[in-house]
Amino acid sequence: MLIYKPMLQNKSKNYFPILIITADIVLVIFLGWLVIQVNSLSGQNALIKSQLDDLTAQKSQLSTNRTESGRLADSLQILNGYFVSSEEKVLLIDNLEKLANQAGITYTLNNAIDGERIALDMSVKGTFRNIYYFIKLIKDFFSFI
């Protein structure tokens, strides 16, 4: 019986290193799989970050474009306010004559070019102060239109 017992212990000792080596191999394979998964997710993360940066830049550009578009629309509206349409021509000439009388200057309309918009060529005579006042009246008049 003495001989049998050491053999039993010897067999159990042989299985233990094999079990540890097998567990190590499984762990190495699992670790390799994890490394591959992490690299794959890292690549996807870099791609998504790049797309997010592009979208952020586009959003910023869109916001800038909207702001600029609003400014241009406001500027266009202000600029259009300085032009007189064909329908308002007679009223404008009448108002210019009234403003010239109010300023105490002589007003002469040299030419009125009619088209989609009206261009007026006029001359004024008077003192510098009265002409300056006339220009101020015209400016105030057009700011109300």
Tell me the sheet residues that pair with 136.
none
Of the chain, the percentage scoring pLDDT greater than 90 comes to 34
pTM: 0.40
Residue 117 pLDDT > 70: no
Of the two residues 2 and 135, the one the predictor is more confident about is 135
Residue 36 pLDDT > 90: yes
Predicted local confidence at residue 2, as pLDDT: 46
pLDDT tens column, 57-70: 999 898 888 888 88
Contacts of 64 by beta carbon, 8 Å cutoff, 6+ apart: none
Q: How confident is the model at residue 1 (pLDDT cuts 50, 70, 90)?
A: very low
Of the two residues 107 and 117, the one the predictor is more confident about is 107
CA neighbor of 92 nearest in space, from 122, 63, 67: 122
CA neighbor of 112 nearest in space, from 94, 134, 137: 94
pLDDT tens column, 67-87: 888 888 888 877 766 666 667
3-state secondary structure (DSSP) of residue 1:
coil
User: Among 2-6, 52-56, 64-68, 136-140, which stretch is predicted with the lowest mean pLDDT?
Assistant: 2-6
